[in-house]
Structure 1
Amino acid sequence: MYINTTDTIFAQSSASGKSGVAVFRISGSNSLALLRALLLDPHFNPKPRYAYYKDLYHPAQYLPDHKAKQTLIDKALILYFQAPNSFNGQDIVELHTHGSRAVSKMLYEIFSKRDDVRIAHPGEFTKRAFFNGKLDLIEAHGIHDLIEAQTFAQHHYATQQMNGQVSQFYQNLRYQLSRAMALIEAYIDFPDEDIAPEHMQEVETRIRAVQDSITKHINDEWQAQKLRDGLKIAILGKPNSGKSTLINYLSKREVSIVSEIAGTTRDVVESMLDIGGYPFILQDTAGIRHCSTDLIEQKGIEKAKRYAQDADIQLLLYNAQDYLNNPQNFLHFASEIIDPSKAIILINKIDLLDQNSHQMLCSGVNLPPSVLIHTSVQNDKGLEQLHHHLTKKAQEILYTQDDLIVVNECRRRAMKEALNSLSNVRFEDLVLDAEELRIASQCLHSIIGKIDVEDLLDEIFSSFCIGK
């Protein structure tokens, strides 16, 4: 339902700072009046959803010298969206100006001194859209997650929320519970009627199906965390195997110091990057060797082994010449630190081998089921294959059967509460069972946004940027 609010809000919706174009929004019942004041045209009546190219002026009474009557702020593209057919159900005016800090400062100065408009709170434009029924709470989260998305995978799950796919999932769960409640309440209202066994079987089938679906998504919590924070790749190997060179290559910048001196990397160096559309955290670890007498290096080696255990993917680099000199030593070294199901093994620095050595390398030993790739970071050999396998492993880790990951902790808590209520349905007392089903349904409904807790809404929308 459309909600008419009395206050009008203003904010810059595009990123602050110098840019080619900046977008400012005005929303509320005074939007057109404020626009007319900027145009110095009290009779301007824009057609909704049409673009106008107009001069914006600074009102003379707000200028320091009070002399200039028509000080030009900027030439702007103006769009008007009439309530209720706008993003948030209210009148909205958008000003598309040049991305100048001075322009932004002047507009904020004008609106901060007026009584009929105020500066918007974070997320307030979207919050009004939620209250006016333009989108539900999941779709609002989708907008926030889309703005925050840095990789294709994060973008994909954000758009699922924004376009209603995730909302439909919860609506379907509620529908199943509603059908079960209708059958149970029918028996409560007509206790003299015999309960057909097939009807009670239908009730139980629907409830258990909802339980199974909720349980599956709650158990996928770690996938949501990996999607938000990134999959961890521990780069492991002996000193001078090329670990630092590899992380610098993949990061496309100098993240780690490259040196021929063994033990240069003492601590873990991390770098965030996007590979194949998935978020990764690359971790360059200390070179692992058993003969070090340096206490700091020894601590770095122990830390490298801990990171190897916690990693989602292990990249083991091994010098190609060392591998040819003693393949069994390689096998022993690899078996000490890697989990074959997580590992991608790189036999590195193949550019330093002669032709005969290279042929010998191709008939070498593998560690099934690990992936083994011959690489040269210096000559860009095998790195495309490495990208392919990293992307493939990310798909395997983040894959879900219905392509839906629950990425919100508030949502997860509501699902756990619903699951707890459903587990209390035992078909011994139908009145109590109906109450448990109502509680579970309300939990699912709160996920979509039918809740009365103002503080919770403020917490959610305060994480939005200003102007959204």
Structure 2
Amino acid sequence: MASDTIYALSTAPGQAGVAVIRISGRNAGTLWGKMTARQPEPRIATLLKLSDPTDGSEIDRCLALWFPAPASFTGEDVVELHLHGGRAVVNGAISALAKLPEFRPAEAGEFTRRAFANDKLDLTEVEGLSDLIAAETEAQRKQAIRQMDGELSRLIGNWREKLIRTLAYLEAEIDFPDEELDEGISDQVKNNILVLQSEINQHLDDGHRFERLRDGFSIAIIGPPNAGKSSLLNALARREVAIVSDIAGTTRDIIEVHLDLAGYPVTLADTAGLRELEEANDNNVELEGMRRARTKAEAADFKLAVFDLAASQKPDLETLDLLKRGDSLVVLNKADKSDQAISTLASELSEFEIQKISAKTGTGIDALIKRLTDEVVSKLGTTGSSVGITRERHRKALIDTLDALSRSLLAPLPELAAEDLRLATRYLGRITGKVDVEDLLDVIFRDFCIGK
């Protein structure tokens, strides 16, 4: 694969002011002289006429950049062509590149994969780059930048270096049992392991904060039919997202909308109305909607339970059960209708936090948004360490590392303890891609776009 020279459009397809085509590989420089009159100086943008290599017909006048290996993104010879962004221009350039020997279109993520193979990026930096491309909010962008800059890589590397040093102490004890080594070396090894365990546990005990930031904080809107859940969704989204009707059961499936609260990503889900099963047992579609609503609510980071005061709705057992599972807030809708209804329902839900709104008039919506923003910031805000675990594979590798460290402390022989420490170093190395990661590469790179 690496012997081929690859090319791809690196900017979004379609009409634009400028389009960038990236080329990487050992033959990238052969297009100079075949498609241009001369070769530009390295890393200096140069205006050149781009021509078809077979008949010399002009394709465009473009800015060309030349990055000889190894000082390039991929570590290979790299060319960038900054063309006018019309479809015909881009298609003409791509067709011309296809005529050059050993040139082929790049696969998804192939430029970044070559950067990894040539030690330009490790796996955590690759994932940071992927997250940066996908970032939708300011907080996501900042987290991705930190990871792409190597903050997580340096943390893992520091732990691995400490572990290797500890392993060296232990192996010295094994290999030279009669030598006069420093007193208490076994205690030193044990202490080093305990300190490392403590540091790793501190990062694991983060409430999945950084993973939630990457994927988005999820809020499920639950409650009985016709309580105003869809109206609330529309009010929070500031646009018409869900159909609102007086007919009970209008919402049958999950409707999601993405919000940006104080720079943090939030997924808000409107769910089907919940009521006692015996009231819906003759309607399979409604039962399926309720099942999906329960599943969504159980998986959500936060729940909003909506009740319609005007209808004097009572809290059903299904909604109450979901409210008790995790963080939640009761929302009393149509609060402008009846003070007596507010008092009655509030007393029945006194164990929960309550907020009054009117989705129709907008009363209380700003206060509710502030309450949700405070909740999201408290859960996702990066107080303390700015370096965190952003993926489940990182978490699993660290848990495996802790298991190996714990076994080493209980090992009956130093040789067995040393083997457990070697396993721990391998688990840490898998996070950054230092060892045994070939099976992970396809999974990591498959979500990249073509041209990156």
TM norm. shorter chain > 0.5: yes
Q: Corresponding residue for 1:256? A: 242
Matched with 1:66 is: none
Match of 1:265 among 247, 251, 272: 251
Once residues 84 and 122 of structure 2 are traced to their aligned partners in structure 1, the CA distance between those partners, rounded to angstroms, is 33
Q: Is the 8 A contact 2:174 2:415 kept in 1?
A: yes
Give the Cα–Cα distance (whole angstroms) in 1 for the partners of residues 295 and 68 of structure 2: 58
CA distance in 1 between partners of 2:351 and 2:304 (Å): 14
Which residue pairs with 1:314 in the alignment?
303
Q: Are residues 1:383 and 2:369 paired?
A: no
Give CA-to-partner distance per residue, 1:259-310, whole Å, 9 cap, x none. 1223322343333443333333322223345595683276245654554444
Asked whether the equivalents of residues 298 and 325 of structure 2 are also in contact (C-alpha less than 8 Å), the reply is: no
Q: Is the partner of 2:389 in helix, strand or coil?
A: coil
Q: Where does structure 1 lack aligned partners over 5 or more consecutive residues?
A: 62-68
In structure 2, what is the equivalent of residue 345 of structure 1? 330
CA apart distance, 1:429: 2.3
Aligned residue number for residue 144 of structure 1:
130
| C-alpha distance in structure 2 between counterparts of 1:153 and 1:385, whole Å | 22
Aligned match of 2:143? 157
Q: What is the match of residue 30 of structure 1? A: 27
* Structure 2: gaps of 5 or more residues: none
Residues 1:292 and 1:461: Cα distance change in structure 2 (over 3 Å): closer
Per-residue CA shift, 1:419-441, capped at 9, x if unaligned?
A: 33322213642233223222322
Is the Cα contact below 8 Å between 2:401 and 2:427 reproduced in 1? Answer: yes
1:50-449 correspondence to structure 2 within 5 Å = 50-61=44-55, 69-70=56-57, 72-193=58-179, 198-215=184-201, 217=203, 226-289=212-275, 292=279, 295-296=282-283, 299=287, 300-301=289-290, 304-305=293-294, 307-321=296-310, 335=320, 338-339=323-324, 342-350=327-335, 370-398=352-380, 402-425=385-408, 426=410, 428-449=412-433
In structure 2, what residue type is equivalent to 1:346? V
CA distance 1:224–1:33, shift in 2 (3 Å): same
Could you report, residue by residue, the CA deviation over 1:398-446 in whole angstroms, capped at 9, with x for unpaired residues?
A: 4675344423344444334433332221364223322322232233223
Report the Cα distance in structure 1 between the residues aligned to 2:286 and 2:378, rounded to whole angstroms.
Answer: 34
Change (3 A) 1:7 1:221: farther
Tell me the CA shift for residue 351 of structure 1. Answer: 5.5
Cα 1:56–1:253 change in 2 (3 A) is farther
How far residue 13 of structure 1 moved from its aligned partner, in angstroms, is 1.1
Over 3 Å counting, the alpha-carbon distance change for 1:321 and 1:450 in structure 2 is same
TM-score after normalising by structure 2? 0.84
Residues 152, 278 of structure 1: 8 Å contact kept: yes
The verdict on how the C-alpha distance between 1:234 and 1:58 changes in structure 2, with shifts beyond 3 A counting, is same
SS in 1 for 2:178: coil
Specify which of 6, 11, 16 is matched with residue 14 of structure 1.
Answer: 11
CA-to-partner distance for each residue in 1:28-74, whole Å, 9 max, x for gaps? 333333144222x1xx232222222333223453xxxxxxx53x322
Partners of 1:340 and 1:370 within 8 A in 2: no
Q: Structure 2 CA distance, aligned partners of 1:405 and 1:282?
A: 24
C-alpha deviation, 1:23, in angstroms: 1.1
Is the Cα contact below 8 Å between 1:111 and 1:119 reproduced in 2? no
Cα distance in 2 for partners of 1:463, 1:244 equals 33
**Contact 1:276–1:387 (CA under 8 A) maintained in structure 2:** no
**Residues 235 and 362, structure 2, Cα contact 8 Å, conserved in 1:** no
Aligned residues of 1:244 and 1:284 also touching (Cα < 8 A) = yes
Q: 1:145 to 1:29 in 2, by over 3 A?
A: same
Aligned residues: 445
TM-superposed CA distance for 1:167, in Å, is 0.5
Which range moved further: 447-456 or 364-373? 364-373
Sequence identity (%): 40
* SS at 1:74 equivalent: strand
Q: Residue type matched to 1:389 in 2?
A: R
Normalising by structure 1, what TM-score? 0.81
Residue identity matched to 2:97: F
What secondary structure is seen at the aligned counterpart in 2 of 1:317? strand
Following TM superposition, by how much is the alpha carbon of 1:447 offset from its aligned partner in structure 2, in angstroms? 2.3
Checking the alignment, whether the CA contact within 8 Å between 1:54 and 1:75 is kept in structure 2 is: yes
**What's 1:64 paired with?**
none
C-alpha displacement of 1:177: 1.0
| CA RMSD across the alignment | 3.5
Tell me, yes or no, if the aligned pair for 1:366 and 1:372 is still in contact at 8 Å. Answer: no
After alignment, is 432-441 or 262-271 more displaced?
Answer: 262-271
* Range with bigger deviation, 93-102 or 26-35: 26-35
